[in-house]
Structure 1
Amino acid sequence: MEFVLIRHAQPEWVKDGLSVVNPPLSALGFRQAEILGERLKDDRFDHVFVSPLLRACQTAAPFLKHHSRPQIIEPWLEEIREPAWHGQSAEVTVKAYNDDAKANSLDRWSGLTGGEPVDEFVARIRSGCVDFLARNGVRRQESLLPVWDIDDPQTSFVFVAHAGTNSVIICHLLGLEPTPWEWERFVIGHASMTTIKAIKLGDGYTFSLENLSDLEHLALVDRTR
Protein backbone atom coordinates (compact mmCIF):
# COMPACT_ATOMS: atom_id res chain seq x y z
CA MET A 1 0.00 0.00 0.00
CA GLU A 2 1.23 3.45 -0.90
CA PHE A 3 0.20 6.92 0.23
CA VAL A 4 1.45 9.98 -1.66
CA LEU A 5 0.81 13.12 0.38
CA ILE A 6 0.93 16.27 -1.73
CA ARG A 7 1.05 19.69 -0.14
CA HIS A 8 -0.72 22.50 -1.99
CA ALA A 9 1.33 24.97 -4.01
CA GLN A 10 2.12 28.50 -2.78
CA PRO A 11 -1.03 30.43 -1.82
CA GLU A 12 -1.62 34.17 -1.96
CA TRP A 13 -1.87 34.60 1.81
CA VAL A 14 -1.65 38.39 1.56
CA LYS A 15 -3.24 40.66 -1.05
CA ASP A 16 -2.75 44.43 -0.97
CA GLY A 17 -1.34 44.13 2.55
CA LEU A 18 -4.41 42.32 3.88
CA SER A 19 -4.71 38.71 5.07
CA VAL A 20 -6.70 36.25 2.97
CA VAL A 21 -8.49 33.30 4.55
CA ASN A 22 -8.87 30.28 2.24
CA PRO A 23 -6.68 31.96 -0.39
CA PRO A 24 -6.19 31.02 -4.03
CA LEU A 25 -2.77 30.14 -5.36
CA SER A 26 -0.26 32.85 -6.17
CA ALA A 27 1.12 33.21 -9.70
CA LEU A 28 4.11 31.12 -8.61
CA GLY A 29 1.75 28.64 -6.97
CA PHE A 30 -0.12 28.07 -10.23
CA ARG A 31 3.21 27.43 -11.96
CA GLN A 32 4.25 25.00 -9.22
CA ALA A 33 0.94 23.15 -9.63
CA GLU A 34 1.40 22.85 -13.40
CA ILE A 35 4.93 21.49 -12.97
CA LEU A 36 3.73 19.02 -10.35
CA GLY A 37 0.95 17.84 -12.65
CA GLU A 38 3.46 17.35 -15.45
CA ARG A 39 5.69 15.26 -13.20
CA LEU A 40 2.79 13.01 -12.20
CA LYS A 41 1.13 12.70 -15.59
CA ASP A 42 2.51 9.22 -16.31
CA ASP A 43 2.11 7.82 -12.79
CA ARG A 44 -0.83 5.61 -11.93
CA PHE A 45 -2.74 5.73 -8.66
CA ASP A 46 -5.89 3.92 -7.61
CA HIS A 47 -7.49 6.79 -5.69
CA VAL A 48 -6.99 10.55 -5.46
CA PHE A 49 -8.62 12.70 -2.78
CA VAL A 50 -8.47 16.45 -2.25
CA SER A 51 -8.94 18.82 0.69
CA PRO A 52 -11.96 21.12 0.32
CA LEU A 53 -9.84 24.28 0.62
CA LEU A 54 -9.30 26.33 -2.54
CA ARG A 55 -5.50 26.15 -2.60
CA ALA A 56 -5.58 22.35 -2.53
CA CYS A 57 -8.26 22.13 -5.21
CA GLN A 58 -6.30 24.45 -7.51
CA THR A 59 -3.11 22.47 -6.90
CA ALA A 60 -4.83 19.20 -7.78
CA ALA A 61 -6.44 20.52 -10.98
CA PRO A 62 -3.54 20.03 -13.46
CA PHE A 63 -2.79 16.54 -12.12
CA LEU A 64 -6.45 15.52 -12.29
CA LYS A 65 -6.75 16.92 -15.81
CA HIS A 66 -3.79 14.84 -17.02
CA HIS A 67 -5.52 11.72 -15.71
CA SER A 68 -9.08 12.70 -16.69
CA ARG A 69 -10.13 12.22 -13.08
CA PRO A 70 -12.93 14.03 -11.25
CA GLN A 71 -12.16 16.03 -8.15
CA ILE A 72 -13.16 13.97 -5.11
CA ILE A 73 -13.23 15.93 -1.86
CA GLU A 74 -12.45 14.35 1.52
CA PRO A 75 -13.63 16.95 4.08
CA TRP A 76 -11.42 15.61 6.88
CA LEU A 77 -8.30 16.69 4.95
CA GLU A 78 -9.05 20.35 5.70
CA GLU A 79 -6.14 22.24 7.29
CA ILE A 80 -6.35 23.72 10.79
CA ARG A 81 -9.00 26.45 10.81
CA GLU A 82 -7.66 29.97 11.05
CA PRO A 83 -9.03 32.86 13.10
CA ALA A 84 -11.49 35.15 11.30
CA TRP A 85 -8.83 37.60 10.18
CA HIS A 86 -9.77 37.84 6.50
CA GLY A 87 -9.25 41.45 5.41
CA GLN A 88 -7.18 42.42 8.44
CA SER A 89 -3.68 43.80 8.15
CA ALA A 90 -1.10 41.10 7.44
CA GLU A 91 0.84 42.44 10.42
CA VAL A 92 -1.88 41.06 12.70
CA THR A 93 -1.39 37.58 11.25
CA VAL A 94 2.40 37.71 11.48
CA LYS A 95 2.29 38.85 15.10
CA ALA A 96 -0.16 36.08 16.04
CA TYR A 97 2.08 33.38 14.56
CA ASN A 98 5.20 34.87 16.15
CA ASP A 99 3.52 35.00 19.55
CA ASP A 100 2.37 31.39 19.20
CA ALA A 101 5.91 30.26 18.37
CA LYS A 102 7.12 31.77 21.66
CA ALA A 103 4.53 29.97 23.80
CA ASN A 104 5.52 27.19 26.19
CA SER A 105 5.27 23.69 24.75
CA LEU A 106 2.04 22.59 26.44
CA ASP A 107 0.41 25.98 25.87
CA ARG A 108 0.84 25.51 22.13
CA TRP A 109 -1.98 22.96 22.16
CA SER A 110 -4.34 25.95 22.45
CA GLY A 111 -3.26 27.34 19.08
CA LEU A 112 -4.06 30.80 17.76
CA THR A 113 -6.67 32.84 19.60
CA GLY A 114 -9.95 32.54 17.70
CA GLY A 115 -8.74 29.64 15.57
CA GLU A 116 -9.13 25.87 15.87
CA PRO A 117 -7.17 24.62 18.91
CA VAL A 118 -4.25 22.45 17.86
CA ASP A 119 -5.32 19.55 20.08
CA GLU A 120 -8.76 19.55 18.44
CA PHE A 121 -7.19 19.76 14.97
CA VAL A 122 -4.88 16.80 15.62
CA ALA A 123 -7.80 14.79 17.02
CA ARG A 124 -9.94 15.69 13.99
CA ILE A 125 -7.31 14.60 11.47
CA ARG A 126 -6.46 11.40 13.34
CA SER A 127 -10.14 10.50 13.70
CA GLY A 128 -10.74 11.23 10.02
CA CYS A 129 -7.72 9.14 9.07
CA VAL A 130 -8.87 6.19 11.20
CA ASP A 131 -12.30 6.32 9.59
CA PHE A 132 -10.86 6.66 6.07
CA LEU A 133 -8.47 3.76 6.58
CA ALA A 134 -11.23 1.55 7.99
CA ARG A 135 -13.41 2.30 4.96
CA ASN A 136 -10.51 1.18 2.79
CA GLY A 137 -9.62 -2.02 4.62
CA VAL A 138 -6.78 -0.77 6.84
CA ARG A 139 -6.99 -1.31 10.60
CA ARG A 140 -4.39 -0.93 13.33
CA GLN A 141 -3.94 -4.06 15.43
CA GLU A 142 -4.38 -4.09 19.21
CA SER A 143 -0.63 -3.96 19.73
CA LEU A 144 1.96 -1.80 21.47
CA LEU A 145 3.65 -1.41 18.10
CA PRO A 146 2.23 0.30 14.97
CA VAL A 147 1.22 -2.91 13.18
CA TRP A 148 -1.67 -2.89 10.73
CA ASP A 149 -3.97 -5.30 8.93
CA ILE A 150 -4.40 -4.36 5.26
CA ASP A 151 -7.02 -6.03 3.07
CA ASP A 152 -5.48 -4.96 -0.25
CA PRO A 153 -1.78 -4.08 0.11
CA GLN A 154 -1.49 -3.19 -3.60
CA THR A 155 -3.77 -0.14 -3.34
CA SER A 156 -2.35 3.36 -3.80
CA PHE A 157 -3.77 6.67 -2.59
CA VAL A 158 -2.97 10.33 -3.23
CA PHE A 159 -4.03 13.07 -0.82
CA VAL A 160 -3.72 16.68 -1.99
CA ALA A 161 -3.81 18.58 1.27
CA HIS A 162 -1.72 20.70 3.64
CA ALA A 163 1.44 20.80 5.74
CA GLY A 164 -0.45 20.39 9.01
CA THR A 165 -2.84 17.74 7.74
CA ASN A 166 -0.12 15.73 6.04
CA SER A 167 2.18 15.94 9.06
CA VAL A 168 -0.51 14.56 11.36
CA ILE A 169 -1.21 11.74 8.88
CA ILE A 170 2.50 10.88 8.75
CA CYS A 171 2.67 10.68 12.54
CA HIS A 172 -0.46 8.55 12.71
CA LEU A 173 0.72 6.04 10.10
CA LEU A 174 4.20 5.79 11.63
CA GLY A 175 2.83 5.38 15.16
CA LEU A 176 4.34 8.60 16.52
CA GLU A 177 2.87 10.46 19.47
CA PRO A 178 1.30 13.79 18.45
CA THR A 179 2.83 17.15 19.32
CA PRO A 180 1.50 20.71 18.95
CA TRP A 181 4.24 21.49 16.41
CA GLU A 182 3.66 18.90 13.68
CA TRP A 183 4.34 21.59 11.03
CA GLU A 184 7.87 22.08 12.36
CA ARG A 185 8.42 18.38 13.03
CA PHE A 186 8.18 17.60 9.33
CA VAL A 187 9.27 20.42 7.02
CA ILE A 188 7.12 20.12 3.91
CA GLY A 189 7.47 22.48 0.93
CA HIS A 190 4.78 23.80 -1.37
CA ALA A 191 3.79 21.41 -4.19
CA SER A 192 5.92 18.67 -2.64
CA MET A 193 5.30 14.93 -2.47
CA THR A 194 5.76 12.72 0.58
CA THR A 195 5.58 8.96 0.06
CA ILE A 196 4.68 6.37 2.68
CA LYS A 197 4.64 2.65 1.87
CA ALA A 198 3.55 -0.45 3.73
CA ILE A 199 6.18 -3.00 4.75
CA LYS A 200 5.21 -6.65 5.22
CA LEU A 201 5.85 -8.15 8.65
CA GLY A 202 5.25 -11.68 9.85
CA ASP A 203 2.03 -10.66 11.58
CA GLY A 204 0.82 -7.72 9.49
CA TYR A 205 2.20 -4.50 8.03
CA THR A 206 3.87 -1.34 9.21
CA PHE A 207 4.44 1.91 7.34
CA SER A 208 7.74 3.36 6.14
CA LEU A 209 8.45 6.99 5.26
CA GLU A 210 10.09 6.51 1.87
CA ASN A 211 10.67 10.19 1.17
CA LEU A 212 9.66 13.51 2.70
CA SER A 213 8.84 16.70 0.79
CA ASP A 214 10.18 15.58 -2.60
CA LEU A 215 10.68 18.77 -4.64
CA GLU A 216 12.91 17.48 -7.43
CA HIS A 217 10.39 18.61 -10.05
CA LEU A 218 10.84 22.26 -9.05
CA ALA A 219 13.85 24.45 -9.79
CA LEU A 220 15.54 25.83 -6.68
CA VAL A 221 14.24 29.33 -7.39
CA ASP A 222 10.67 27.99 -7.52
CA ARG A 223 10.77 26.21 -4.14
CA THR A 224 8.85 27.82 -1.30
CA ARG A 225 7.54 26.97 2.15
Structure 2
Amino acid sequence: MEIVLLRHAEPEWVKDGVNISNPPLTDRGHKQAEHLANFLASENFDEILVSPLLRTRQTSAPILRKFSRQLVIEDWLEEIRDPIWHGTPQEKAAEAYRAQRAKDSHMRWDGLDGGEAVSDFVDRIHTGCTGFLERHGVMRKDNDLPVWTMENPEQKIAFVAHGGTNSVVLCHLLGLTATPWEWERFVIGHATVSRIQSFELGDGHTFGLTRLSGDEHLPATMRTV
Protein backbone atom coordinates (compact mmCIF):
# COMPACT_ATOMS: atom_id res chain seq x y z
CA MET A 1 0.00 0.00 0.00
CA GLU A 2 1.29 3.43 -0.86
CA ILE A 3 -0.01 6.61 0.73
CA VAL A 4 1.08 9.79 -1.03
CA LEU A 5 0.90 12.86 1.21
CA LEU A 6 0.60 16.10 -0.74
CA ARG A 7 0.85 19.40 1.08
CA HIS A 8 -1.19 22.35 -0.17
CA ALA A 9 0.50 25.11 -2.14
CA GLU A 10 1.39 28.53 -0.71
CA PRO A 11 -1.60 30.24 0.96
CA GLU A 12 -2.20 33.96 1.42
CA TRP A 13 -2.21 34.11 5.21
CA VAL A 14 -1.92 37.91 5.28
CA LYS A 15 -3.39 40.50 2.92
CA ASP A 16 -2.98 44.26 3.32
CA GLY A 17 -1.51 43.73 6.78
CA VAL A 18 -4.38 41.68 8.22
CA ASN A 19 -4.77 37.97 8.92
CA ILE A 20 -6.94 35.79 6.69
CA SER A 21 -8.64 32.69 8.08
CA ASN A 22 -9.04 29.73 5.72
CA PRO A 23 -7.00 31.61 3.09
CA PRO A 24 -6.90 31.05 -0.67
CA LEU A 25 -3.68 30.33 -2.53
CA THR A 26 -1.34 33.09 -3.62
CA ASP A 27 -0.62 33.56 -7.32
CA ARG A 28 2.60 31.63 -6.76
CA GLY A 29 0.63 28.97 -4.93
CA HIS A 30 -1.63 28.40 -7.95
CA LYS A 31 1.48 27.95 -10.11
CA GLN A 32 2.93 25.52 -7.57
CA ALA A 33 -0.29 23.51 -7.72
CA GLU A 34 -0.06 23.30 -11.52
CA HIS A 35 3.53 22.06 -11.30
CA LEU A 36 2.43 19.45 -8.76
CA ALA A 37 -0.42 18.26 -10.97
CA ASN A 38 1.90 17.91 -13.98
CA PHE A 39 4.40 15.96 -11.88
CA LEU A 40 1.75 13.49 -10.71
CA ALA A 41 0.08 13.08 -14.11
CA SER A 42 1.79 9.77 -14.93
CA GLU A 43 0.81 8.09 -11.66
CA ASN A 44 -2.25 5.97 -10.95
CA PHE A 45 -4.25 6.59 -7.80
CA ASP A 46 -7.12 4.49 -6.53
CA GLU A 47 -8.38 7.51 -4.59
CA ILE A 48 -7.51 11.18 -4.17
CA LEU A 49 -8.85 12.59 -0.91
CA VAL A 50 -8.81 16.24 0.10
CA SER A 51 -8.98 18.28 3.31
CA PRO A 52 -12.05 20.56 3.46
CA LEU A 53 -10.07 23.82 3.73
CA LEU A 54 -9.89 26.24 0.81
CA ARG A 55 -6.13 26.02 0.27
CA THR A 56 -6.24 22.24 -0.14
CA ARG A 57 -9.30 22.33 -2.37
CA GLN A 58 -7.59 24.88 -4.64
CA THR A 59 -4.38 22.82 -4.67
CA SER A 60 -6.32 19.69 -5.58
CA ALA A 61 -8.23 21.34 -8.46
CA PRO A 62 -5.57 20.93 -11.20
CA ILE A 63 -4.72 17.45 -9.92
CA LEU A 64 -8.33 16.33 -10.11
CA ARG A 65 -8.63 17.79 -13.61
CA LYS A 66 -5.59 15.77 -14.71
CA PHE A 67 -7.22 12.57 -13.51
CA SER A 68 -10.82 13.50 -14.42
CA ARG A 69 -11.84 12.97 -10.80
CA GLN A 70 -14.48 14.59 -8.64
CA LEU A 71 -13.59 16.33 -5.39
CA VAL A 72 -13.82 13.93 -2.42
CA ILE A 73 -13.51 15.58 0.99
CA GLU A 74 -12.23 13.78 4.10
CA ASP A 75 -13.05 16.05 7.03
CA TRP A 76 -10.50 14.48 9.37
CA LEU A 77 -7.65 15.75 7.15
CA GLU A 78 -8.30 19.34 8.27
CA GLU A 79 -5.27 21.14 9.73
CA ILE A 80 -5.15 22.16 13.40
CA ARG A 81 -7.78 24.84 14.00
CA ASP A 82 -6.33 28.26 14.69
CA PRO A 83 -7.90 30.94 16.89
CA ILE A 84 -10.28 33.34 15.17
CA TRP A 85 -7.84 35.86 13.78
CA HIS A 86 -9.59 36.88 10.56
CA GLY A 87 -9.34 40.62 9.98
CA THR A 88 -6.95 41.26 12.87
CA PRO A 89 -3.48 42.81 12.42
CA GLN A 90 -0.90 40.31 11.21
CA GLU A 91 1.23 40.93 14.30
CA LYS A 92 -1.46 39.28 16.44
CA ALA A 93 -0.86 35.88 14.84
CA ALA A 94 2.90 36.38 14.70
CA GLU A 95 3.05 37.15 18.41
CA ALA A 96 0.87 34.12 19.25
CA TYR A 97 3.25 31.81 17.38
CA ARG A 98 6.27 33.37 19.10
CA ALA A 99 4.64 32.77 22.47
CA GLN A 100 3.82 29.17 21.54
CA ARG A 101 7.42 28.44 20.52
CA ALA A 102 8.66 29.87 23.83
CA LYS A 103 6.56 27.50 25.97
CA ASP A 104 8.09 24.61 27.86
CA SER A 105 7.83 21.34 25.96
CA HIS A 106 4.82 19.76 27.68
CA MET A 107 2.94 23.07 27.75
CA ARG A 108 2.96 23.08 23.95
CA TRP A 109 0.29 20.37 23.97
CA ASP A 110 -2.18 23.13 24.93
CA GLY A 111 -1.70 24.86 21.57
CA LEU A 112 -2.50 28.47 20.80
CA ASP A 113 -4.85 30.35 23.11
CA GLY A 114 -8.33 30.13 21.61
CA GLY A 115 -7.37 27.44 19.09
CA GLU A 116 -7.51 23.66 18.99
CA ALA A 117 -5.21 22.01 21.52
CA VAL A 118 -2.36 20.12 19.86
CA SER A 119 -3.28 17.07 21.95
CA ASP A 120 -6.85 17.19 20.58
CA PHE A 121 -5.55 17.66 17.03
CA VAL A 122 -3.26 14.63 17.28
CA ASP A 123 -6.11 12.53 18.70
CA ARG A 124 -8.39 13.70 15.86
CA ILE A 125 -5.88 12.74 13.18
CA HIS A 126 -5.10 9.38 14.81
CA THR A 127 -8.80 8.56 15.08
CA GLY A 128 -9.54 9.71 11.53
CA CYS A 129 -6.56 7.87 10.06
CA THR A 130 -7.36 4.66 11.92
CA GLY A 131 -10.98 4.77 10.76
CA PHE A 132 -9.94 5.49 7.19
CA LEU A 133 -7.50 2.57 7.16
CA GLU A 134 -10.05 0.19 8.66
CA ARG A 135 -12.55 1.11 5.94
CA HIS A 136 -9.83 0.16 3.45
CA GLY A 137 -9.09 -3.19 5.04
CA VAL A 138 -5.99 -2.11 6.97
CA MET A 139 -6.13 -3.13 10.63
CA ARG A 140 -3.53 -2.59 13.35
CA LYS A 141 -2.53 -5.91 14.92
CA ASP A 142 -2.53 -6.48 18.67
CA ASN A 143 1.19 -5.91 18.76
CA ASP A 144 3.48 -3.44 20.49
CA LEU A 145 5.09 -2.83 17.10
CA PRO A 146 3.42 -0.96 14.18
CA VAL A 147 2.25 -4.06 12.30
CA TRP A 148 -0.91 -4.13 10.19
CA THR A 149 -3.02 -6.64 8.31
CA MET A 150 -3.98 -5.55 4.78
CA GLU A 151 -6.71 -6.92 2.56
CA ASN A 152 -5.31 -5.15 -0.51
CA PRO A 153 -1.65 -4.09 -0.22
CA GLU A 154 -1.70 -2.85 -3.83
CA GLN A 155 -3.81 0.24 -3.03
CA LYS A 156 -2.38 3.68 -3.81
CA ILE A 157 -4.10 6.65 -2.21
CA ALA A 158 -3.27 10.37 -2.22
CA PHE A 159 -4.14 12.82 0.55
CA VAL A 160 -4.12 16.53 -0.28
CA ALA A 161 -3.67 17.98 3.17
CA HIS A 162 -1.42 20.05 5.43
CA GLY A 163 1.98 20.16 7.09
CA GLY A 164 0.59 19.28 10.51
CA THR A 165 -1.88 16.68 9.30
CA ASN A 166 0.66 14.94 7.09
CA SER A 167 3.28 14.95 9.86
CA VAL A 168 0.90 13.35 12.37
CA VAL A 169 -0.16 10.75 9.79
CA LEU A 170 3.52 9.95 9.18
CA CYS A 171 4.15 9.44 12.89
CA HIS A 172 1.02 7.32 13.28
CA LEU A 173 1.85 4.97 10.43
CA LEU A 174 5.55 4.71 11.29
CA GLY A 175 4.79 3.95 14.93
CA LEU A 176 6.50 7.08 16.27
CA THR A 177 5.43 8.76 19.48
CA ALA A 178 3.71 12.05 18.73
CA THR A 179 5.13 15.36 19.95
CA PRO A 180 3.52 18.82 20.10
CA TRP A 181 5.99 20.09 17.48
CA GLU A 182 5.33 17.77 14.53
CA TRP A 183 5.50 20.77 12.16
CA GLU A 184 9.14 21.28 13.13
CA ARG A 185 10.04 17.59 13.33
CA PHE A 186 8.94 16.96 9.75
CA VAL A 187 9.55 20.13 7.73
CA ILE A 188 7.27 19.80 4.70
CA GLY A 189 7.27 22.43 1.96
CA HIS A 190 4.32 23.77 0.00
CA ALA A 191 3.08 21.61 -2.90
CA THR A 192 5.52 18.83 -2.04
CA VAL A 193 5.22 15.05 -2.15
CA SER A 194 5.85 12.67 0.75
CA ARG A 195 5.42 8.93 0.34
CA ILE A 196 4.79 6.06 2.74
CA GLN A 197 5.04 2.52 1.37
CA SER A 198 4.02 -0.69 3.10
CA PHE A 199 6.29 -3.70 3.08
CA GLU A 200 5.59 -7.26 4.12
CA LEU A 201 6.69 -8.97 7.32
CA GLY A 202 6.17 -12.56 8.35
CA ASP A 203 3.09 -11.62 10.37
CA GLY A 204 1.68 -8.66 8.43
CA HIS A 205 2.79 -5.36 6.94
CA THR A 206 4.44 -2.22 8.23
CA PHE A 207 5.14 1.18 6.68
CA GLY A 208 8.36 2.88 5.62
CA LEU A 209 8.98 6.50 4.64
CA THR A 210 10.35 6.54 1.09
CA ARG A 211 10.20 10.30 0.37
CA LEU A 212 9.78 13.37 2.53
CA SER A 213 8.84 16.78 1.11
CA GLY A 214 9.92 15.98 -2.44
CA ASP A 215 10.11 19.26 -4.37
CA GLU A 216 12.06 18.33 -7.51
CA HIS A 217 9.05 19.32 -9.63
CA LEU A 218 9.20 22.93 -8.42
CA PRO A 219 11.62 25.52 -9.83
CA ALA A 220 14.01 26.74 -7.13
CA THR A 221 12.33 30.17 -7.10
CA MET A 222 8.96 28.56 -6.32
CA ARG A 223 9.98 26.48 -3.30
CA THR A 224 8.35 27.78 -0.12
CA VAL A 225 7.64 26.38 3.33
Q: Same fold (TM over 0.5)?
A: yes
TM-score (norm 2): 0.99
Report the counterpart of residue 97 of structure 1 in structure 2.
Answer: 97
Q: Deviations over 1:172-207 (max 9, x none)?
A: 000011110010010000000000000100110000
1:131-142 residue pairs with structure 2 within 5 A?
131-142=131-142
Question: Deviations along 1:106-156, whole A, 9 cap, x unmatched?
Answer: 000000000000000000000000100000100110101111101100001
Aligned residues: 225
Q: Give the deviation of 1:214 after TM superposition.
A: 0.3
Q: Hey, what does 1:18 align to over in structure 2? A: 18
1:154-169 paired onto structure 2 within 5 Å: 154-169=154-169
Percent same amino acid at aligned positions?
55
- Tell me which amino acid in the other structure corresponds to 2:162: H
What is the deviation of 1:219? 1.1
Equivalent residue letter for 2:217: H
Aligned to 2:223: 223
Q: TM-score, normalised by structure 1?
A: 0.99
Distance in 2 (CA, whole Å) between partners of 1:161 and 1:144 is 28
Give the residue type in structure 2 aligned to 1:190.
H
Task: Give runs of ≥4 in structure 1 deviating > 3 Å.
Answer: none
1:75-104 alpha-carbon deviations (Å, 9 max, x no partner): 000000010010000000000001100100
Partner of 1:187: 187
Give yes or no for the alignment of 1:210 onto 2:222: no
Please, which runs of 5 or more residues in structure 2 have no aligned partner?
A: none
Paired with 1:136 and 1:51, the residues of 2 have a C-alpha distance of: 18
1:21-61 per-position Cα deviation (integer Å, ceiling 9, x unaligned): 10000010000001101111121111110000000000000
**Other-structure match for 1:201:** 201
- What is the Cα-based RMSD across aligned positions, in Å? 0.4
d(CA) in 1 for partners of 2:31 and 2:48?
21
Aligned position for 1:40: 40
